[in-house]
Amino acid sequence: MSLKELCLRAVRDDAAELAAAARVDPAARVPSCPDWSLRELVDHTGRVHHWVDGIVRSRAQERVRFVDQAGGPEEPAAGVRWFEQGTASMLAALAGVDEEEPVWNWFRGVAPARFWMRRMALETSMHRWDGQAAVPPPQPIDTAVALLGVDEMLDDLLPLLRTQAQELSTDAAMHLHCTDAEGEWLVRFGADGATVSREHAKGDVAVRATASDLYLLLWNRIGAEHLEVFGDGALLRRWAELIRI
């Protein structure tokens, strides 16, 4: 399965499950996003989908401001329908663009459109989990999508948090071991921030878990107490305090 096929399938499935959760109780508070109700979570995700739809359809080559993207209706049922319409339109736009076609994004400027395919799969999967956590139980994130999420966090987002990584530790390492797919990462924290390698090596703390749980851990959706942890658990607590997007 290509990256495009994987990501579009994930967006479609996770968006449908988020909409279903919102129909259960739109007023439910979202534990992992405590400032939002489920209705507000759906509105945020819908704004993202409508925004990316416009970027991809126009093949934008310059910055498109997210703050200018309007939200949906406040009435919950109408808001869910607006969300579903935006998701369907965005999926059609992504289906119609080649992975390599250059389109603007907030991270790399003008770059291959596969950025948006991966980012929308990850955005939607995480917020689907958030939404289901409000009307539990939340279901795990797809293994292949979660692996993309671990890579995104460690390769792309963590370098943006250099100061926080320096505060976390200047001489320690964290080893992550995926138990349901091939995947191992060693994150070394030092005076210059964090560096990442893919290897089986000893860290000051090691975590063994499914790809979904590793992804959720790195995004501070679940705590290390739910996982198999060896070594210095304080390092993981510091991660939860400092590494936030």
Residue 4: per-residue pLDDT: 98
Task: Decide which of 139, 170, 189 is a domain's last residue.
Answer: 139
Residue 120: per-residue pLDDT: 98
Residue 69: per-residue pLDDT: 97
Q: Distance between CA atoms of 74 and 28, rounded to whole angstroms?
A: 15
Residue 226: per-residue pLDDT: 84
pLDDT 10s digit of each residue in the chain, 245 long?
A: 899 999 999 999 999 999 999 999 999 999 999 999 999 999 999 999 999 999 999 999 999 999 999 999 999 999 999 999 999 999 999 999 999 999 999 999 999 999 999 999 999 999 999 999 999 999 999 999 999 999 999 999 999 999 999 998 989 999 999 999 999 999 999 988 999 999 999 999 999 999 999 999 999 999 998 899 999 999 999 999 999 88
Q: Do residue 106 and residue 162 come from a single domain?
A: no
Task: Decide which of 83, 117, 139 is a domain's last residue.
Answer: 139
How much is the pTM? 0.96
Which CATH number characterizes residue 208's domain? Answer: 3.30.1050.10
Look up the domain containing 163 and give its range. 144-242
Q: Distance between CA atoms of 151 and 75, rounded to whole angstroms?
A: 37
Task: Decide which of 113, 139, 165 is a domain's last residue.
Answer: 139
If 0-12 CB within 10 Å is exposed, 13-18 middle and 19+ buried, where does residue 136 land? exposed
Closest CA to 221 of 129, 86, 122: 129
* Buried-exposed string 169-195: b where 16+ CB fall within 10 A, e elsewhere: beebbbbbbbeeeebebbbbbeeebbe
Residue 101: per-residue pLDDT: 98
DSSP string, 79-114: HHHHHHHHHHHHHHHHHTS-TTSEEEETTTEEEETH
Report residue 64 CA to chain centroid gap.
21
Q: Do residue 106 and residue 134 come from a single domain?
A: yes
Q: Do residue 165 and residue 122 come from a single domain?
A: no
In sequence order, the 6+-apart residues with CB closer than 8 A to the CB of 5 are: none
Q: Are 220 and 244 in contact (CB under 8 A)?
A: yes
3-state secondary structure of 179: coil
The residue behind tokens 């090596």 is 201
Q: Where are the beta strands (DSSP E) in the chain?
A: 102-105, 109-112, 172-178, 184-190, 193-197, 205-209, 228-231
